[in-house]
Amino acid sequence: MHCRRRTFVEQIPGLTRRHAQRTDRLRSALAEVGLALAGRAGARLADVFGISASRSTVLRLVDAMPGPQPSAPRVVGIDEYAMRKGRVYGTVLVDVETRRPVDLLPDREAATVAAWLAECPGIEVVCRDRAPFFAEGASTGAPTAVQVADRFHLWRNLGEAAERCVSRHRSCLRAPFALPGSEKLTVVIVLVFGVLIAPTAFGQTILDVVG
């Protein structure tokens, strides 16, 4: 039997929407709760406020939220990340000034990095490690940008170089001295290029950067 009756309801922007079970204000509140507490804890907190929602609903509302639109970075950091350590690697790009990730690339090839940089003409500084594919990609995609090495890799490379230097000249070091009250622990401290290298009693090496 065909029914000729039709119901027309005017939607109020900012308050209601078609086929929605909640107002926009309630949806926003649940989404914020989900961002702060995730699904299960967010559903429990919503129940305290008298809002009936399952953890799946809370997560679904969070997933439906639009992603933030990042501004064009001026200083970008480039590094690799492992999807399968030792086998599959990608590239992560970070806005150094805001310290927020900007994009993830599926590989760490120079051509992929260069193509991404070419689409962002406002980049002035590229902060990267010493990997040759990142150097080539930055030179091709952002030829006018200044390339700088990040502090972490500088200190790491310096520490490794100093450790290799000391290892090669270990025979030149003076005999270790025993600390008062300790018969087993011996310490040798060597200052090389501003890096303190102290072999411990267990054969390990402690690197302490001198500021």
Q: Is the pLDDT of residue 102 over 70?
A: yes
Given a contact cutoff of 8 angstroms between Cβ atoms, the answer to whether 142 and 122 are in contact is no
Question: How many CA within 13 A on the CB side of residue 202?
Answer: 3
Q: pTM for this one?
A: 0.53
Is 23 a residue whose pLDDT tops 90? Answer: no
pLDDT of residue 166: 84
CA–centroid distance for 45 within its chain? 30
Q: How far apart are CA 168 and CA 164, in angstroms?
A: 6
pLDDT of residue 21: 80
pLDDT digits (tens, 9 = 90+) for 149-180: 888 888 888 888 888 988 888 777 766 655 56
Q: What percentage of residues in the chain have a pLDDT greater than 70?
A: 78
Q: What gap in Å lies between CA 192 and CA 33, rounded to an integer?
A: 53
**Among the listed residues 123, 25, 21, the one whose alpha carbon sits nearest the alpha carbon of residue 78:** 123
DSSP string covering 45-114, please?
A: HHHHTT----HHHHHHHHHTSPPP-PPPPSEEEEEEEEEETTTEEEEEEEETTTTEEEEEESS--HHHHH
